[in-house]
Each structure stands twice: as C-alpha cells, then as structure tokens.
Structure 1
Amino acid sequence: MDERQVEAILQNPKFKEMVAKKSRLSWTLTAIMLFVYVGFMLLVGYNKEFLMTSFSGGVTTWGIPLGLGIIVLSFILCGVYSYIANNKLDQLNEDAMREVEAIAHEKGLH
C-alpha cells in the first residue's frame, strides 16, 4: 500500500465516521467503567461501615456483591463493545475499504 492509498483511506468519509463512532463508543464505555470503579473506591475509603454490613443477615457483606458486580460489569462492557464493533463498525470499515479500492482501481493505483 503506497502513500496515495493510505491518504485515500484516511480521507474517506465512511472511514472517518467509523473512527469517530469507535472513539465515542470507547470513551463512553471507559467513562462508565471509571465512574463505577471510582465510586466503589470512594465507598471503600469513606463508608467502610456500609460495606461491612451484612447483605443477607449472614456473613456476606455488601462489599462482596458490589466487588463482583464491578467485575461482571467489565465483562458486560467488553461484550457490548465487541457486539457493536462486529455488527456496526465492521460494516462501515468494509464500506470504506470498498470505496477506496474502487477509487484506487479508477486511478490505476492498485
């Protein structure tokens, strides 16, 4: 792939749209995870009494399900990213590549 093909890809509107959507999705999911994790850390730092109270009247405290919930949330967010990337962003990428290949063939770049 030469410089002209790379430039054609980078200037393609569908490629730009795909990059923008991917970036927006990544930052949104990162913000959700950071908000939850920092919230949990603040809870650990400033309200230990709540985390030490019993969840079910037994030995399980609120800290256990909340900590496990954060781990489960990270897997869910990874699944959401994978689903969206595979079903929406890949299609935009394929469309952009088809357009770039068509332009390359027209100009004799390929």
Structure 2
Amino acid sequence: MNDSIYRRIEKNPRFHELVSKRERFAWTLSAIMLGLYLAFILTIAFAPHLLGTRISPESSITWGIPIGVGMILAAFVLTGIYVYRANGEFDDLNQVILDEVQK
C-alpha cells in the first residue's frame, strides 16, 4: 500500500469507529481482569483466612487453589472472547474499510 491509501484510511470514519470500538472493548476486558486480580490480592491481604479455609474438613485443598486456577481460566476466557470478536466484527469492519479506500 502507498501513502495515499494510508491517508484515506486515516480519514475514513469507519476506521475511527473501528479504533474506538476496539479500544473500548480491550479496555473493558482489561478492567474486568484487573478487577478480578485486585479482588484476589485484596482478599489475600485483608482476609487470608478465607482463601486458607479447607474446601471440606477432610480435604487438604484450600479455597485459594480453585480460586487461583479460576483466575488463570478467566484470563484465557477473556482472551478467547477478544479473539472471537476480533476475528468477527473487527475483521469484517477492517475489510469494509480496505474495500472503500481501494476503490
């Protein structure tokens, strides 16, 4: 692509829509993950007995282990959600933009 195509892309209102949607979505998912981590760390700091409690009296596993694994799984799930939307809506909008500016 040459410079004139890049300038047309930058001036395209759909490009600004794409950038805005993508940034807003990425920040939303980041805020969710940050909130989960913050809640986990604050629980460790101010109520460690909650995560140190055994799941059942005869179990050696505490609540901290499944919650920690859940934190890791949440990161994978949120990444999957982003990839799903990026490969769908965002790629479609990207293709529309490219088709418009290459005319």
TM-score, normalisation: structure 2: 0.94
Q: Which residue of 2 aligns with 1:88?
A: 89
Shift of 1:15: 1.2
- 1:43-76 CA distance string (max 9 Å, x none): 0111111111111331111100110000000000
- 1:70-99 CA distance string (max 9 Å, x none): 000000000000000001000000000000
Q: Which residue of 1 aligns with 2:10?
A: 10
TM-score, normalisation: structure 1: 0.89
- Structure 2 stretches of 5 or more lacking a match? none
Q: Cα RMSD over matched residues? A: 0.9
- Structure 1 stretches of 5 or more lacking a match? 103-110
Q: Which residue of 1 aligns with 2:43?
A: 43
Determine what percentage of the aligned residue pairs are the same residue.
Answer: 41
**Aligned partner of 1:66: which letter?**
I
User: What is the rounded CA distance, in whole Å, between the counterparts of 1:50 and 1:2 in structure 2?
Assistant: 59
- Runs of at least 4 residues of structure 1 off by over 2 A? 1-4
Question: Looking at CA atoms only, which structure, 1 or 2, has the larger radius of gyration?
Answer: 1
